């Protein structure tokens, strides 16, 4: 099968969406499909226009201008026309400004199109960002109308999404692909030494971008109550925390408060970690927190990664985000944006951490990218049958 994957940002850009697309694309390629990714060349200095990445052909279209967190690429439509014609199935990841144009081409050429809707888009306050939000919402709506089918992570998120609820007749929940390599021998201990974790307990982890929707301030506000009971508690924040696109005002507001904790070693920023580094990081945690604040977060893949290492999670009660803990019983759900509830949940987990254990082998099977790719294959094949098309082998 020739699969065209279309999204605004692809690796090495780091977000839950790009990691999802990369894992799924590689799984398709391993299963013998011809996979092409159409994306943007958001950094001309470091990113080639055309390359192979782990069996996936990546084509990047030059960017003319940035618009808030998005980009404008004038030749995107021209390249998309050629690639849609050449492929069997068109798979798009939303939110995405260019989606309706690509889906329209698929419809005109008789190719099935599937949207994976990752989350809502909510830009920071401001008149211009409000306009951008409206434009992207309109584009997503048009793509939804034109697409043959839509995939989301969980039925919980779909039931509570004003966007997805419009398309119940063509909606399928598919759990996301999650994988993590086993830690190399000695790497867990080496990670602890490198980051001076010894002597600190309990260790609270966050694995995310430093962005307003992630609820960093909720953990920050909960920390005094935790430190009162556990004076050697420490927060380790893994992920981009400097120069996060569109988040400078948020950083300017919170970083001065965080620096007060950094001086005593109570809070450390680790930066972006590779998958192998994360595999060594998770076993050093006592708990992972996902205090997200709005529907720009739809699941929280890092929760599953933590649970694969028997690390419990505290997640906000957002639709979708609450599902990993709800499904697997590995942690606690807290009200959205309530630091006191977060602190209470953390203290409860620290008091009875041994209670939180799960079947890690079953988790690995359930979220295996190969299994997720099979679910997509079934959907693609059904759509091809409906259109009276078979896959080409040329």
What pLDDT was estimated at residue 167? 94
> Measuring CA to CA, how many Å separate 290 from each of 293, 321, 325, 361?
9, 8, 11, 23
Confidence category of residue 389, pLDDT binned at 50, 70, 90: low
Distance, C-alpha 361 to centroid of its chain: 22
Give the per-residue pLDDT at 67: 72
Domains of the chain: 2-177+368-386 (3.40.50.2000), 187-363 (3.40.50.2000)
Residue 49 phi/psi, 5-degree rounding, is -70, -30
Question: How many residues does the structure list for the chain?
Answer: 394
What is the predicted pLDDT for the residue at 69? Answer: 67
Q: What is the largest CA-CA distance in the chain?
A: 66
Share of the chain above pLDDT 70, in %: 96
Note the pLDDT tens digit of each residue in 202-227. Answer: 999 999 999 899 999 999 999 999 99
- Out of 54-68, 149-163, 182-196, pick the least confident: 54-68
Q: What is the pTM of this model?
A: 0.88
Write down the pLDDT at residue 297.
87
Q: Is the dihedral of CA 143, 144, 147, 152 positive or negative?
A: positive
CA pair distance 82, 70, nearest whole angstrom: 23
For the segment 117-142, what is each residue's pLDDT rounded down to a tens digit? 998 877 666 776 777 778 888 898 99
- The more confident residue out of 36 and 127 is 36
* 3-state SS record for the chain: CEEEEECCCCCCCCCHHHHHHHHHHHHHHHCCCEEEEEEEECCCCCCCCEEEECCEEEEEEECCEEECCEEECCCHHHHHHHHHHHCCEEEEEECCCCHHHHHHHHHHCCCCEEEEECCCCCCCCCHHHHHHHHHHHHHHHHHHHHCCEEEECCHHHHHCCCCHHHHHHHEEECCCCCCCCCCCCCHHHHHHHHCCCCCCCCEEEEECCCCHHHCHHHHHHHHHHHHHHCCCCEEEEECCCCCCCCCHHHHHHHHHHHHHHHCCCCEEEEECCCHHHHHHHHHHCCEEEECCCCCCCCCCHHHHHHHCCCCCEEEECCCCCCHHHHHHCCEEEECCCCHHHHHHHHHHHHHCHHHCCCCHHHHHHHCCHHHHHHHHHHHHHHHHHHCCCCCCCC
């Amino acid at each position: 099968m020739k699969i065209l994957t279309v999204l605004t940002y692809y690796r090495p850009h780091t977000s839950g969406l790009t990691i999802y697309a990369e894992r799924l694309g590689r799984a398709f390629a391993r299963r013998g499909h011809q996979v092409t990714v159409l994306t943007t060349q958001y950094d001309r200095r470091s990113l080639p226009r055309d390359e192979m990445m782990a069996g996936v052909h990546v084509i990047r279209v030059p960017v003319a201008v940035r618009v808030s967190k998005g980009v404008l690429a004038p030749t995107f439509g021209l390249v998309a026309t050629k690639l849609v014609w050449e492929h069997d199935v068109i798979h798009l990841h939303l939110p995405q400004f260019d989606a309706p144009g690509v889906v329209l081409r698929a419809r005109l050429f008789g190719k099935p199109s599937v949207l994976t809707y990752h989350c809502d888009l909510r830009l920071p306050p401001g008149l211009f960002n409000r306009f951008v939000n409206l434009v992207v919402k309109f584009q997503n709506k048009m793509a939804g109308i034109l697409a043959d089918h839509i995939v989301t992570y969980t039925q919980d998120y779909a039931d509570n999404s004003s966007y997805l609820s419009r398309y119940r007749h063509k909606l399928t929940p598919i759990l996301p692909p999650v994988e993590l390599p086993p830690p190399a021998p000695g790497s867990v201990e080496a990670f602890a030494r490198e980051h001076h974790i010894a002597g600190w307990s309990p260790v609270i982890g966050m694995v995310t971008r430093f962005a307003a929707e992630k609820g960093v301030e909720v953990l920050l506000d909960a920390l005094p109550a935790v430190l009162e009971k556990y004076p050697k508690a420490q927060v380790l924040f893994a992920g981009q925390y400097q120069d996060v696109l569109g988040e400078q005002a948020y950083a300017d507001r919170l970083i001065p408060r965080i620096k007060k904790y950094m001086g005593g070693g109570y809070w450390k920023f680790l930066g972006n970690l590779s998958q192998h580094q994360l595999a060594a990081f998770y076993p050093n945690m006592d708990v992972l927190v996902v205090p997200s604040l709005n529907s720009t977060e739809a699941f929280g893949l890092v929760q599953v990664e933590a649970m694969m290492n028997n690390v419990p999670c505290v997640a906000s009660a957002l639709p979708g985000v609450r599902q990993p803990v709800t499904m697997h019983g590995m942690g606690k759900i807290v009200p959205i944006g309530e630091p006191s509830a977060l602190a209470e949940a953390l203290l409860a987990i620290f008091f009875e951490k041994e209670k939180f254990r799960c079947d890690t082998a079953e988790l690995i099977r359930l979220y295996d990218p190969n299994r997720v790719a099979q679910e997509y294959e079934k959907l693609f094949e059904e759509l091809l049958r409906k259109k009276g098309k078979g896959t080409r082998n040329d």
